[in-house]
């Protein structure tokens, strides 16, 4: 049930070319986003190339049929039509003057998926393909240990039994396929540092990034680009967190900061956090647990490890 191509053979990324009369082919890519009831949002654009005569970027509709997917819609002042079948996409201008996208389906992966913990790291959720993971580092036994090596969200949030200050965290997550959902009701979870500061986990594939989307520090910092993979893909967070600082008298003297990479793309670098995010505990502490959020969606996690740090600046 977790093979993306078996669940939905159309959803995901495509690469290829844009072809126009009398011009060299221009590299292009597309994203196909499932929206339920056999309908899809299809975003197609050319990649930045020096001296490109025109850089089309269109958004049209896909409708699933017995023969494949039919594409249609008006975008950029033109009427488009086409189809997706057997992993190939063709979208053309409905006009004698031409203009055609020809692309094929590709599977993108995070470059840090499966990253091994360094020497001395604390393994919070070990990962071995085909083996149920040991969940003894976590305090919520209602979460499910699955045979694919992952842990699935259960009833209530899940905290680590250990607490951390300065830390590097590697974590992998898989968003469920929920095409009928919209906004925050689509594969929602979250990773809280010190039970207070949340990098968001959400199905934000194909969206313009906002402060509540995947890769955001929730309602504090918007990701500059959308680095998300399609749902059912294994995605990665690689995060460095510097805890708040305190004086000898125990007064908080510096805010925490966080550096966030999603699927190998750096989204935030030393982003200061001046308050807890929504749903986080109030106040500043030197150490606190990680918390994985239950937001009512069967998000899965695997290969979680933490490396304690002593950041001097």
3-state secondary structure (DSSP) of residue 283 = coil
What was the pLDDT predicted at 112? 98
What was the pLDDT predicted at 282? 96
Q: Which of 154, 121, 115, 111 is nearest to 135 (CA)?
A: 154
Question: What is the distance between the alpha carbons of residues 216 and 222, in angstroms, rounded to a whole number?
Answer: 5
Residue with tokens 């680095």: 227
**How do the pLDDT tens digits run along the chain, 313 residues long?**
467 778 999 999 999 999 988 888 999 999 999 999 999 999 999 986 655 556 778 999 999 999 999 999 999 889 999 999 999 999 999 988 878 999 999 999 999 999 999 999 999 999 999 999 999 999 999 999 999 999 999 999 999 999 999 999 999 999 999 998 887 879 999 999 999 999 999 999 999 999 999 999 999 999 999 999 999 999 999 999 999 999 999 999 999 999 999 999 999 999 999 999 999 999 999 999 999 999 999 999 999 999 999 999 7
3-state secondary structure (DSSP) of residue 127 = coil
What was the pLDDT predicted at 270? 98
Superfamily for domain range 118-313: Exo-inulinase; domain 1 (2.60.120.560)
Q: What's this model's pTM, rounded to 2 decimal places?
A: 0.94
Burial of 259 (0-12, 13-18, 19+ CB in 10 A): middle
What was the pLDDT predicted at 224? 97
What's the half-sphere exposure (Cβ side, CA atoms, 13 Å) at 120?
5
Residue with tokens 């900061």: 257
Question: What is the distance between the alpha carbons of residues 299 and 185, in angstroms, rounded to a whole number?
Answer: 12
37: region left, alpha or beta (phi > 0 left; psi from -120 to 50 alpha): left
Considering only CA atoms, give the Rg of the chain: 22
Are 130 and 59 spatial neighbours (Cβ–Cβ below 8 Å)?
Answer: no
What was the pLDDT predicted at 49? 64
Q: Do domains 4-106 and 118-313 have the same CATH topology?
A: no
3-state secondary structure (DSSP) of residue 294 = coil
What was the pLDDT predicted at 183? 75
* Whole-number Cα distances in Å, 53 to 20, 29, 45, 192, 226: 10, 17, 14, 46, 26
**Hey, where are the domains in the chain?**
4-106, 118-313
Are 302 and 127 spatial neighbours (Cβ–Cβ below 8 Å)?
Answer: yes
Are 291 and 145 spatial neighbours (Cβ–Cβ below 8 Å)?
Answer: no
Are 143 and 297 spatial neighbours (Cβ–Cβ below 8 Å)?
Answer: no
The answer regarding whether domain 4-106 maps to CATH 2.40.128.120 reads yes
């Amino acid at each position: 049930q977790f093979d993306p191509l078996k669940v939905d053979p159309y959803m995901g990324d495509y690469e290829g070319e844009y072809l126009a009369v009398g011009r060299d082919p221009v590299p292009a890519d597309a994203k196909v986003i499932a929206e339920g009831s056999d309908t899809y949002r299809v975003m197609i654009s050319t990649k930045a190339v020096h001296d490109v005569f025109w850089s089309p970027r269109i958004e049209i509709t896909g409708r699933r049929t017995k023969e494949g997917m039919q594409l249609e819609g008006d975008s950029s002042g033109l009427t488009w039509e086409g189809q997706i079948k057997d992993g190939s996409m063709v979208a053309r201008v409905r006009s004698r003057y031409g203009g055609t996208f020809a692309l094929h389906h590709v599977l993108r992966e995070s470059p840090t998926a499966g990253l091994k913990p360094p020497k001395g790291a604390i393994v919070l959720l070990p990962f071995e393909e085909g083996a149920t993971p040991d969940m003894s580092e976590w305090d919520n036994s209602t979460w499910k240990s699955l045979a694919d090596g992952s842990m699935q969200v259960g009833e209530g949030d899940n905290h680590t039994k250990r607490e951390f200050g300065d830390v590097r965290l590697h974590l992998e997550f898989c968003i469920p396929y929920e095409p009928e959902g919209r906004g925050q009701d689509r594969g929602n979870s979250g990773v809280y540092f010190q039970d207070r500061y949340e990098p968001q986990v959400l199905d934000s594939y194909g969206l313009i990034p906002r402060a509540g989307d995947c890769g955001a520090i929730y309602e504090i910092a918007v990701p500059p680009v959308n680095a998300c993979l399609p749902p059912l893909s294994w995605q990665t967070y690689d995060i460095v967190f510097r805890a708040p600082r305190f004086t000898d008298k125990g007064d908080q003297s510096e805010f925490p900061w966080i550096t966030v990479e999603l699927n190998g793309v750096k989204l935030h670098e030393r982003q200061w956090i001046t308050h807890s995010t929504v749903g986080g505990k109030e106040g500043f502490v030197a150490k606190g647990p990680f918390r994985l959020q239950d937001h009512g969606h069967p998000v899965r996690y695997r290969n979680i490890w933490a490396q304690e740090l002593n950041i001097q600046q």
